[in-house]
Structures are given as C-alpha cells and as structure tokens.
Amino acid sequence: MPAALRPVWTGQLRLALVTVPIKLYAAAQSTARVTFHQIHEPSGQRIRYEKVAPGVGPVPAEEIAKGVEVQKGRYVLLSDAEIAGVKVEGKRTLDLVQFVSPADIDPMFYDTPYFAAPDGKLAQDSFRLVRDALAASKTYGVGQFAMRGRAHVAAVKPYDKGLLVETLRFAEELRRPDAYFEELDAAPADEDLVALARELIARKAAPFDPARFHDDYAEAVERLVAAKVATHGETIIEDAEPAAKDRGAEIVSLVDALKRSLGADRPPAARGRPETPARPAPQRRPPAKPRRKA
C-alpha cells in the first residue's frame, strides 16, 4: 500500500449514541517542497548531526531520556512507559461535543487537515449519516481526541464523499495581535479610495482555483538543478530577478495607483478608449498678408 494511503490514526468518531469507526489520512504532503541538505563540499558527504552532552561528547541513544524543564537547567525525567501511561480521556475517540457555524472559527486556529474515511464496509452507513447530517445543518462538529501522544481539538466537516478533520490550535498557542498593531492608526481609510479598491476587487472576484497557483520557487530550483547536472556542476545563475523598477515617478498617489490598476484590468476594447473626450486642437491663425511698398 502506498505511504499516502496509510492511516495516521485509527479510532472512533462519536455523535451522541452513534459511533463510527474511522481512519485518518494525511491530506497534505510536505514532500512536495524543496528540501536542501548540508553537504561537506570537499568530500561530497552529507552532514550528519550527533547528539552530544556538554562535557561528555557524543552519547548513545539508550542513554537519552525525555525531560521536562521545571526550572532553568533543572529537568524532571520521564520514561517512555510513564509517558505512554498518561491517561487521556477519549484517547481513541473523537467525540463531537459542539456544533458551530463555519464562520465562528477564526482561520488562525486551523492547523493540519486529515481525510476521514470509514474503517470497513460495516461503518459506511453510520459514516454517511454523520456526513449528511453535518452537510444538512451547515455546521462543523468540534471535539477532542489524542493522536501521537498529544491531545488535539478538531473540526469535522463534510468534504467530497467523506469527511475532513482539521486539527485546531489551542487558544494559548496563538499570540494576541495587540502588540503588533499598536502603532497602526485606527482611523478608517478614505471612502473614495475604498470605493476604487472595491471596484478593482469586484472585477477580479472569481471562485478559488488552486490550479492557478504554482510553487514558482520549487520549479526554478528544479530547473537550476537540471542545468547544473547538464553542465557537470558549473556555477549557474538562473532566474535572477530583475532590479525593481522605480515606480515613484509613475505612481504619485493611491488614487493614481488604483486608477492605473482599474485601467489595466479593462477588456482590450475598452482599454483603448480615452476616459475623457479629447480637447479640440487649437486653430492656427492665417498668415499675415505682406504689406505693399509705398
């Protein structure tokens, strides 16, 4: 079975008296991103990291224990058996204890998405029941469960033919924005500028299409690697960004910037028409008649 189809969690989804055996699968993959390794250039060997203790040097894995710092430099050591024995209520059960409108969850809380599928054919009927009930009520189910030794809060929502379980951050994990925005003036923006910006937004409004967006950086690195291989390791400067153009002389105000943006977004036929009627060309005076000599 491919690694992508191996469940990361197996347990039960519970809605009151309805219990559904489910499996969670990772819905996102980090392997699609470019990963750089540190290489010892003279030998071409990859750099490996050793676990060392100050004054001791490298230490074997069997001598390493997990510890929680209770004071600066003072730790309480916990064995794997002690950590595994920690009792977490509903360890293998995601109990939906609250149902909320999607708009009630701040996007800042969303963490990691997982696909939820029924665990076996016998679970399909109850799985469809929970999925369709959530879809009909237009709500997300919220509950708590344990996965990989940690407690998680999760939002459960209908997705495609199945369910999407998105883990949520705890409130204490998020920083308050006050300190970051305290120097920002609370006064609203100019109404005329807002009207121009809204017109630009309305023209560009469209359903979200993720296929329109690509990881340009990863693609550029792949081209660079291919060129490096083709040239047997020669230094290559590729996809160098051009120097930023000084637009200070072009755009002298927000009004000008917005009007230019709106003009650039017009259809080609409309773009060629002048916004104001052209002024008539000034009429030339007829040449003066030559004077007669006396």
**Stated length of the chain:** 294
Q: Please, are residues 162 and 24 in contact by the beta-carbon 8 Å criterion?
A: no
Instruction: For residues 201 and 180, give the distance between their C-alpha atoms in angstroms, rounded to a whole number.
Output: 27
Under DSSP, the state recorded for 106 is -
Tokens of 26: 């990772």
pLDDT of residue 276: 45
Cα pseudo-dihedral 49, 50, 56, 59, rounded to 10: 160
Instruction: For residues 18 and 12, give the distance between their C-alpha atoms in angstroms, rounded to a whole number.
Output: 10
pLDDT of residue 245: 55
The closest of 169, 146, 8, 132 to 90, measured between CA atoms, is 146
Pairing mode, strands 140-147 and 93-100? antiparallel
pLDDT of residue 278: 46
Cβ-based neighbours of 218, under 8 Å, separated by 6 or more:
32, 33, 34
pLDDT tens, N- to C-terminus, the chain (294 residues):
455 589 999 999 999 889 999 999 999 887 667 788 899 988 989 998 889 999 999 999 888 999 999 889 899 988 888 887 776 655 789 999 999 999 999 999 999 999 999 999 999 999 999 999 999 999 999 999 998 878 899 999 999 999 999 999 999 999 999 889 888 888 998 898 899 889 988 988 888 888 888 777 777 888 888 887 888 777 776 555 555 555 555 555 777 877 777 777 665 555 555 444 444 444 555 555 555 544
Domains and CATH numbers, the chain: 3-32+86-172 (2.40.290.10)
Please give the C-alpha separations between residue 126 and each of 92, 93, 121, in angstroms, as whole numbers. 18, 15, 10
pLDDT of residue 174: 93
Question: How many other β-carbons are positioned within 10 Å of the β-carbon of residue 9?
Answer: 19
pLDDT of residue 291: 54
pTM score over 0.75: no
Cβ-based neighbours of 227, under 8 Å, separated by 6 or more:
236, 238
Instruction: For residues 24 and 105, give the distance between their C-alpha atoms in angstroms, rounded to a whole number.
Output: 22
Q: Please, are residues 80 and 66 in contact by the beta-carbon 8 Å criterion?
A: yes
Tokens of 79: 């064995």
Please give the C-alpha separations between residue 131 and each of 18, 107, 139, 167, 196, in angstroms, as whole numbers. 12, 22, 11, 18, 42
- Residue 222 identity (one-letter amino acid): E
pLDDT of residue 244: 54
